[in-house]
């Protein structure tokens, strides 16, 4: 039997870029923040993403996290199998 925890994580991770860019709907921001308060995995990804993006943004331009780095984060959290099976 499979619980829905990873589905929540999947949604959270999908929206993290927009969240960090401040482009996410305020209602969704609240949901993300709530999830991250209860999910250490997502919180760690959020922290890592934010630091990475801030480092790359030193010139003030918006960047997206490279796909490669993203996949490594997913793999580090062992979410990759779930993501793959959902697609």
Are 42 and 35 a contacting pair, CB within 8 Å?
yes
Give min distance, CB of 27 to Zn ion, in A: 18
Question: How far apart are CB 41 and Zn ion at their closest, in Å?
Answer: 5
Show Cβ contacts of residue 36 under 8 Å, excluding neighbours closer than 6 positions: 12, 42, 43, 46
For Zn ion, the closer CB: 9 or 49: 9
42 contacts Zn ion (rule: CB under 5 A) = yes
As a whole number of angstroms, the distance between CA 47 and CA 81 comes to: 22
Q: Which stretch binds Zn ion (CB under 5 A): 5-13, 18-26, 44-52, 63-71?
A: 5-13
> What residue ranges bind Zn ion (CB under 5 A)?
9, 39, 42
């Amino acid at each position: 039997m499979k619980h829905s925890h990873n589905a929540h994580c999947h949604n959270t991770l999908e929206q993290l870029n927009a969240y960090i860019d401040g482009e996410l709907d305020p209602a969704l921001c609240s949901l993300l923040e709530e999830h991250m308060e209860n999910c250490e995995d997502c919180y760690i990804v959020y922290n890592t993403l934010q630091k990475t993006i801030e480092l790359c943004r030193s010139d003030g331009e918006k960047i997206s996290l490279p796909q490669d780095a993203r996949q490594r984060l997913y793999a580090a959290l062992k979410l990759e199998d779930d993501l793959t099976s959902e697609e």
